[in-house]
Structure 1
Amino acid sequence: MQDLAPLILPRAPPLDPSWLAHESAANLLAPKPSLSAIDRQPLYAASCRALNASMMAPGARDHHLSRGISISSLTIPSTVDGFAIPVLRYETELTKTASGGGKKANEWEEKERKEKVILVYYHGGGLVVGEADSEDLSCRRLVLQSGIAQHLTLYSVGYRLMPQVPACTCVPDALDAFTSICNLNRGAKFILVGSSSGGELAALVSQMAPRGSVHGVLLRCPVTSDAFSGPQYVPARLRAMHTSASESFVTSLLGFFTREVPRDGLERMPLEIGEEELVGLPRTWIQICTNDVLYSDGLCYAKALQDAGVPVKVDVVVGYPHTFWLKAPQLQRALEADEEMLRGLVWAADV
């Protein structure tokens, strides 16, 4: 069992020099324009697409991620109002070939029952920005470089965003997508993956889904509490170790959350689940960054799971800010963080 006590930080350490160099070169400390959430949404989506494309351009480090993969679109109806939730399905070319012919159907069906692994991916963005392809590099890397199964498929969920809908719609969108994906892939092993607010959704879905339907969970810098609205939103038994909602953890990538209402109006955050309800949750791998106001969210959730007997692993990225691999994927440390994610997937899938 991993000893989490040494990971409690009274204040954030210095930022790594390579991050400081990038921060300066990218002018991240300059004042940011004041935009509404609705205005930010298309700009954020476009910037993610441009950055991902640049990383996969010919001659770029991740050009290999542009090949050997098939991406298709589908929609899943919301149980709330029938809205068509957009989903992107990522498959290796081998998986696509296998499902399309070349062997007898019953041979492939038998092989897939033994080997099929399904990843359900929830992007970050504070439940305000981001689309199903916003974390395209991470999705492609998981599918192409996991090495955990011959047949691996990833579904990236484009759940609806605030303020067009309340947060209490984002959560059922995430759960509806997972339920439908399960129905499409009976007999597979299901792994939930989420970064930042997508980690919040992945954690909530793992708690709400029928026990045994989720095999493992990968959370990267997850939102699990609303410590910014007050200590009462962190369970009393964990408050002493929740230290990151303080000024020293603020960076150019993420400051304090300002919510119009606590928890964005949700009944509870993942960290607030009852202790007895944590028992039997799937093995969970959590990656946290030391220079992140959400650092303690991930650490405290790991502690809560561990105390309930859930297998947990925590990976700590020292000297870097919140989900920095999405904003500066070209950095060597960003690639190393992704490689840790792949090792976390092997562990979570228990293969």
Structure 2
Amino acid sequence: MSQYQHLSNPDPEFSARWQPRPPLVLNLAEINKMRQGFKMFAIAPYLKYWEERLPQLPAESLYKVQDHEVPVEGGAIRARAVVPTAEDDQATFPLLVWLHSGGWMNGDIDMDDAWLRTVCVELGISILNVEYRLLPEHPWPAALDDSYAAVKWAADHADILGASLAKGFIVAGASSGANTAVAIVHRARSDPFFEAKKITGHALQIPMLMHPDAYPDQWKPELLSMEQNKDAPAVNKSAIEGLCKLTQASPTDPRFSVLLAPHEGVPPLYLQVCGLDPLRDEGFLYEKLLQEKNTKTKSDVCSGVPHNFQLSMPDIGQAVKFDRDFRDGVKWLLANPA
């Protein structure tokens, strides 16, 4: 897979703006420090970008927002529904369940809120934005189990979400949220609950699909980006290895290292990868494995930019493309359901 190495060549616009930041503190005893850093370097620029564009956001009359409590094992989590409005009170829309990024220990439903409102209105799609519980207060796989419960809740409450699953039922997420999303669609295949409520597609932004300690020898020639991009800005190889260890997930657990799971019967995939991301080749390999099982796939690449770059620099050309590609990818999934 050396043909992908050119995707690591830094994007000039990103390079001109990038300012080195303090190393990621990977110590659960200092979780508040970790979260403050994530907010400062990732969420804050992203929120500022959307706040400055509030006048350009869809009018509030075009959508409805309501927070819900979703029961989960040991408690309840919050999930925010964003539903298009329509002149016909009986109108229904496809449904997308969204899982935010943040390394299983950062983030919330507010970080993507404004962006998801624009997606909701532009695509005419109902969205449930899930606030799963985080590490270390809730050890993994709490995030996965919470999110799985939220997907089931969404399917059971399609009526109050203004949704019709027959028009499309997509599970989507970014980074660690994408890791959870892909685990959900694999788990759902053997769950009788989903027999009559089929997930029709999944959309993954910059997914983590394999614990670095679990790379099988036969795939190592195809998983070169972890070394090629080991010193990438922001999220490098060391950070990924550290985050995976903090989850305490078994490296070969197919719920975490989803590349190791069987892939028969997986719904269509829309995939986004970044060329300067250590995780880049995991995405390409996952797409290849699905294609071998005759699953429909579509993918887009933002070359020369690192993992989660769209949060810290949402206004550069590659970030605008990243946003546009996602919207077009969701449209493609709706046109090509399982």
Scaled by the length of structure 1, the TM-score of the pair is 0.80
User: Is 1:173 aligned to 2:146, yes or no?
Assistant: yes
Letter in 1 for 2:83: E
User: Is 1:271 aligned to 2:226, yes or no?
Assistant: no
Structure-1 residue corresponding to 2:94: 117
Contact 1:206/1:282, CA 8 A, preserved across alignment:
yes
Provide the aligned length of Structure 1 versus Structure 2: 312
Deviation at residue 62 of structure 1 after TM alignment: 6.0
Deviation at residue 145 of structure 1 after TM alignment: 2.0
Change (3 A) 1:42 1:73: farther
Match of 2:56 among 31, 54, 64: 64
Match of 1:224 among 203, 209, 212: 209
Change (3 A) 1:194 1:98: same
SS at match of 1:85: strand
Contact 2:201/2:268, CA 8 A, preserved across alignment:
yes
Q: Give, in whole Å, the separation in 2 of the partners of 1:166 and 1:8.
A: 38
SS at match of 1:245: helix
Deviation at residue 63 of structure 1 after TM alignment: 3.5
Deviation at residue 293 of structure 1 after TM alignment: 0.6
Deviation at residue 33 of structure 1 after TM alignment: 7.3
Change (3 A) 1:260 1:316: closer
Query: What does residue range 1-351 of structure 1 map to in structure 2 within 5 Å?
Result: 8-10=3-5, 13-23=8-18, 27=19, 29-32=20-23, 34=25, 36-41=30-35, 44-45=38-39, 50-57=44-51, 60-61=52-53, 63-65=55-57, 67-68=59-60, 69-78=63-72, 80-81=73-74, 83-92=75-84, 94-95=85-86, 98-99=88-89, 108=90, 111-112=91-92, 116-146=93-123, 149=124, 152-185=125-158, 187-188=164-165, 189-209=168-188, 210=194, 213-227=198-212, 229=213, 233-246=214-227, 248-256=229-237, 257=240, 258-259=242-243, 261=245, 264-266=248-250, 267-268=253-254, 269-274=257-262, 278-350=263-335
Q: Give, in whole Å, the separation in 2 of the partners of 1:194 and 1:342.
A: 13
Structure-1 residue corresponding to 2:191: none
The CA RMSD measured in Å over matched residues stands at 2.6
Deviation at residue 10 of structure 1 after TM alignment: 4.5
Contact 1:11/1:248, CA 8 A, preserved across alignment:
no
Deviation at residue 98 of structure 1 after TM alignment: 4.9
Q: Give, in whole Å, the separation in 2 of the partners of 1:135 and 1:47.
A: 15
Q: Give, in whole Å, the separation in 1 of the partners of 2:234 and 2:66.
A: 31
Deviation at residue 30 of structure 1 after TM alignment: 3.6
Change (3 A) 1:39 1:74: farther
Deviation at residue 52 of structure 1 after TM alignment: 4.3
User: CA-to-partner distance for each residue in 1:68-106, whole Å, 9 max, x for gaps?
Assistant: 33322111011x32x1111111123x25x655xxxxxxx
Change (3 A) 1:52 1:327: closer
User: CA-to-partner distance for each residue in 1:18-37, whole Å, 9 max, x for gaps?
Assistant: 001110xxx3x143474722
Q: Give, in whole Å, the separation in 2 of the partners of 1:251 and 1:260.
A: 17
Contact 1:235/1:272, CA 8 A, preserved across alignment:
no
Q: Give, in whole Å, the separation in 2 of the partners of 1:302 and 1:137.
A: 30
Letter in 2 for 1:67: A
Deviation at residue 309 of structure 1 after TM alignment: 1.1
SS at match of 1:291: coil
Q: Give, in whole Å, the separation in 1 of the partners of 2:303 and 2:264.
A: 30
Change (3 A) 1:138 1:305: farther
Unaligned runs of 5+ in 2: 189-193
Unaligned runs of 5+ in 1: 100-107
Change (3 A) 1:51 1:303: same
Contact 1:8/1:241, CA 8 A, preserved across alignment:
no
SS at match of 2:303: strand
Letter in 2 for 1:87: A
Q: Give, in whole Å, the separation in 2 of the partners of 1:48 and 1:30.
A: 11
Deviation at residue 195 of structure 1 after TM alignment: 0.6
User: CA-to-partner distance for each residue in 1:290-337, whole Å, 9 max, x for gaps?
Assistant: 100110121111111111111111111111111211211111221111
